[in-house]
Amino acid sequence: MKHFLSFEDFSREEILEIIDISRKIKAELLNDVKIPHLAGKVLAMIFEKSSTRTRVSFETGFYQLGGHPIFLSSRDIQLGRGEPIRDTAKVISSMSNMIMIRTFGHDRIEELAKYSAVPVINGLTDLCHPVQVLADYLTILEEGFENPIISYVGDGNNMTNSLIMFSAKMGFEIRIATPKNYEPNNIILEKAKKIAEISGSKIYLFNSPEEAVKNSDVVITDTWISMGMEDEKEQRIRDFKNYIVDDNLMTLTNKKSIFLHCLPAYRGYEVSESVIDGEKSRIYNEAENRLHAQKGLMVWLNKNLKI
């Protein structure tokens, strides 16, 4: 049985299998072909962090696949009142076929997976956000970039960590531009570099956004102030003031480049209004692809229960 906690545990071939299923399922939906791939199945969705896209995409997606999703807020279940994760994992996995959790520390999802009898999906942790990167890659492929040069500008957060590991696995070139002291997780970075030696991936870290985006195909950013960092807001705004993705920065990229943002976005901070609402922006395609990519992931996990 496979869990989907990070890209570290997945091969390039497995990632491509998931994306291939996602593309086929998206085509089915667009052609009004209804195939209940997960008929009779139950998805337990645990939310310790609030969400728009994660909840709507997983709930809608599992329903469209013929299954029944259950929304479980931490305010509504005993996990939010101090029940041990192992107890929650054993109970919920005895009554469902798959668990998705959106939480804080990555150790929480690792413990949940350890004691779960069914596949666990990372809907987001403070360390990684792999389902978002699956949607990003589906969007990138739809734009015709088979071997993209990806640039990320901003905070070295969970999105950055997942993009680095994903690119290392896929053999892509990834360029990260962050201010000093905001670099991505060093443990993930070192693991990715070892993988890159085999895959041919190139991983670059910059402090200059201009250097990072030069001739790149895809520019990605994220909010500077993630959930739980509100008390750092003023300091972060000062530290990231030169890291806004604006028209001047985008002129340095490939002429056919696209802009991605996992949302929610704060116009005028990490990205200018003219870029996020401009012709290079694919943020709404990207958001919709959360639905299709995650459906592909869930079908793949269901098919590989015996691994």
Active-site positions read: 102, 129, 132, 222, 262, 290
24 vs 41: CA distance, rounded Å: 20
Nearest to 195 by CA among 41, 8, 47, 24: 8
Q: What is the DSSP string of the chain?
A: ---BS-GGG--HHHHHHHHHHHHHHHHHHHTT----TTTT-EEEEEESS--SHHHHHHHHHHHHTT-EEEEEETTTSGGGGT--HHHHHHHHHTT-SEEEEE-S-HHHHHHHHHH-SS-EEEEE-SS--HHHHHHHHHHHHHTT-SS-EEEEES--SHHHHHHHHHHHHHT-EEEEE--TT-PPPHHHHHHHHHHHHHH--EEEEES-HHHHHTT-SEEEE--SS-TT-GGGHHHHHHHTTT--B-HHHHTTS-TT-EEEE-S---BTTTB-HHHHTSTTB-HHHHHHHHHHHHHHHHHHHHHTTT-
> In the structure encoding, which two tokens stand for residue 306, read together?
């015996």
Nearest to 54 by CA among 220, 290, 260: 290
Nearest to 156 by CA among 132, 109, 188, 133: 188
> In the structure encoding, which two tokens stand for residue 33, read together?
């072909």
